[in-house]
Amino acid sequence: GHHGPGGARGLRFAPVAPNKDDKVTVPEGYAQSVVIRWGEPILRGAPAFDSEKQSAKAQAGQFGYNNDFLSLLPLKGERGRQVLVANHEYTDEVLMFRGYDAANPTREQVEIAWAAHGLSVVVVQEQHRDGRLTPVSRHPLNRRLTATSRFELTGPAAGSALLRTSADPSGRRVLGTLNNCAGGTTPWGTTLHGEENFNQYFANASSATDKRYGIGTGATERKWERFDKRFDVAQEPNEPHRFGWVVELDPYDPDSTPRKRTALGRFKHEAAQPRLTRDGRPVVYMGDDERFDYFYKFVSSKRMMKGDSRRAREHNLTLLDEGTLYVAKITGDSPAAEIDGTGKLPADGEFDGSGHWIPLATGDVSHVPGMTAEEVYVFTRLAGDKVGATKMDRPEDVEPSPRTGRVYVALTNNTDRGKAGKAGADEANPRNLNKHGQILELAEHWDDPASDGFAWRLFLVAGDPNDPATYFAGYPKEKVSPISCPDNVAFDPHGNLWISTDGNQLGSHDGLFGVAVHGERRGELKQFLTVPTGAETCGPLIQDRRVLVAVQHPGEVDGASVEKPASTWPDGPGRIVRPSVVAVYRKDGRDIGV
């Protein structure tokens, strides 16, 4: 018989209590170990990490900074090995460099930061005894892509005049990827990476379109524009148009050029997660993480080919270049007067309603009056504005349930909701000055991801369960963990949803939570782990035997620096804080949560 903690299958663990410890806290009976740290060498010739002797050359062969999205792909023919793909969203120079002078960064520091951005591919080895994973350095699939690697723009806007620069008159060849936040893994064995807050790297903008994307009019914080004029919009007005895309990477082909898929639109892409239609066409769900920005999907017109043949792989690398881009219009079914901005449930007992997908462009055809198709792809936010898309509370990660097809959208928070001159609460975004966020559950009509309409309801309205303005799918609130600011979402092999947080407003460190989405325990949210001081929990991946999390920006606290650290995780006092990937597994070797 089973005598451990109760819960839905896959979630039978004793919840971790909220805390502010400078470590990764896991449930009783579980253990953890670091898989890989910022700076660990992964490519042939890369030196061991030395925080006092960093160089751009070394960093280009080492694991990057601020790991975010994670994917693990199978590796055939190599026993016990998987391919880990990680995003490196951004750099935090003051925590990387001793004596960093923010007003006068050196060229070497800037070039290290370029090399610490981007993506890593690194083969990892499972350990026989437990859920530990260790990197296989110098594996031929290992790869670093940075802010200066070669990328290709593909799809309907590739080559557009809006994408041409003095260095690239073709409008098709871009140096680098920036601010890769969350992402997705495709059924055809590639990974997707959202270029999110790319605006922060560009200086001296003046156009209305750049303004809509948050690009500043003055110098940037990192001052990259001093070292490469492409980051100065006054000199290279189209360079920022070449960022803000979804990148597709083939991790099995180390010589391939990763592609920026223009058919999926340009915005602050948080993530991109596909689901197939019954006839095999991918549909990719995507959020634009900004207060009052939109939720999108792309429906491919091409069917995936099954199998691993060269022909199938080449065909499948074209799936995201042809199709239709849509934006969501979301409507509540309760009278507007019942949505009072406090989070009080309306009379029908649920925040719910219907929605439809507004087409923006199909190939070279624009569906938006007054905008060409190229303009729709490059200035997608403006297209959403024109068609009256629904202004959401910061759409972060999104994940379709592999079991039910329902799509879960993390809306992390929106402290500007209801402020003067800003949109007020609506049924899908029901709290003004929303500090804690919510998770929306979307069911496409006929369970067809290519459908033009859907039903939706809020699955979770986050916060302290003692706060009446919270909702846990109707589950008794005295039995759930407090949660704030849902960010990344993932499914486990049992069909439970796992949620990681960024920016907890309840006085605890951020963490990772699991929750059943169907059955009697739907809404029973349980906290699985917490992360160190200043950190955000990213990239959760739940396998049978292990949970993987990317501990991002540990030690990122106002006023902290290498000299005055707020965190010394993972290596302890006297050692520099290092963003790292962590594996959590059971001490008795059994599966997670059973």
Looking at residue 242, the DSSP 8-state letter turns out to be G
Q: Is-contact 82 126, C-beta < 8 A?
A: yes
Report 61-100 residues binding Ca ion (CB under 5 A). Answer: none
**Site for ligand FEO contains 293 (CB under 6 A):** no
d(CA 370, CA 372): 7
Q: Which does 89 bind (CB under 5 to 8 A by kind): Ca ion, ligand FEO, none?
A: ligand FEO
d(CA 450, CA 326): 10
Report 499-538 residues binding Ca ion (CB under 5 A). Answer: 502
Minimum CB separation of residue 494 from Ca ion in Å reads: 24
Nearer Cβ to ligand FEO (204/537): 537
User: Tokens 């070797």 identify what position?
Assistant: 589
**Site for Ca ion contains 385 (CB under 5 A):** no
Q: Which does 196 bind (CB under 5 to 8 A by kind): Ca ion, ligand FEO, none?
A: ligand FEO
Report 171-190 residues binding Ca ion (CB under 5 A). Answer: 181
d(CA 576, CA 445): 51
DSSP one-letter string for 409-450: EEE--BTTTTSTTS---BTTB-BTTBSS-EEEEEEEGGG-TT
H-state helical runs in 69-170: 93-96, 107-116
Report 39-58 residues binding Ca ion (CB under 5 A). Answer: none
**Site for Ca ion contains 314 (CB under 5 A):** no
CA-CA distances (angstroms) from residue 90 to 65, 428, 555? 7, 31, 14
Q: Which does 352 bind (CB under 5 to 8 A by kind): Ca ion, ligand FEO, none?
A: Ca ion
Minimum CB separation of residue 179 from ligand FEO in Å reads: 7
Minimum CB separation of residue 143 from Ca ion in Å reads: 23
**Site for ligand FEO contains 396 (CB under 6 A):** yes
If you count them, how many residues does the chain have?
A: 594
Nearer Cβ to ligand FEO (142/484): 484
Minimum CB separation of residue 133 from ligand FEO in Å reads: 24
CA torsion, points 387, 284, 202, 156, in degrees to nearest 10?
Answer: -70
**Site for ligand FEO contains 288 (CB under 6 A):** no
Q: Is-contact 248 258, C-beta < 8 A?
A: yes
d(CA 113, CA 118): 10
Among 22, 92, 228, 352, binds Ca ion (CB under 5 A): 352
Stretch that binds Ca ion, among 103-111, 170-178, 272-280, 481-489 (CB under 5 A): 481-489
Binding letters toward ligand FEO, positions 21-60, x by CB under 6 A: ----------------------------------------
Nearer Cβ to ligand FEO (289/591): 289
d(CA 155, CA 170): 14
Minimum CB separation of residue 182 from Ca ion in Å reads: 5
Stretch that binds Ca ion, among 224-232, 344-352, 399-407, 447-455 (CB under 5 A): 344-352
DSSP strand pairing (259-261 vs 150-154):
parallel
Among 93, 196, 374, 375, binds ligand FEO (CB under 6 A): 196
**Site for ligand FEO contains 289 (CB under 6 A):** yes
Which are the contacts of 150, defined by CB distance < 8 A and separation ≥ 6? Answer: 173, 174, 175, 257
**Residues that contact ligand FEO, how many (by CB under 6 A):** 6
Nearest to 444, CA basis, from 406, 473, 487: 406
**Site for ligand FEO contains 393 (CB under 6 A):** no
Nearer Cβ to ligand FEO (396/441): 396
Q: What is the Cα 261 distance to its own chain's centre?
A: 17
Which are the contacts of 202, defined by CB distance < 8 A and separation ≥ 6? Answer: 210, 215, 216, 220, 225, 231, 232, 233, 239, 240
Q: Is-contact 481 488, C-beta < 8 A?
A: no
**Site for ligand FEO contains 89 (CB under 6 A):** yes
Q: Which does 348 bind (CB under 5 to 8 A by kind): Ca ion, ligand FEO, none?
A: Ca ion
Report 156-185 residues binding ligand FEO (CB under 6 A). Answer: 181
**Site for Ca ion contains 487 (CB under 5 A):** yes
Where do contacts with ligand FEO occur on this chain (CB under 6 A)? 89, 181, 196, 270, 289, 396
| Chain contacts with Ca ion (rule: CB under 5 A) | 181, 333-334, 346, 348, 350, 352, 487, 502
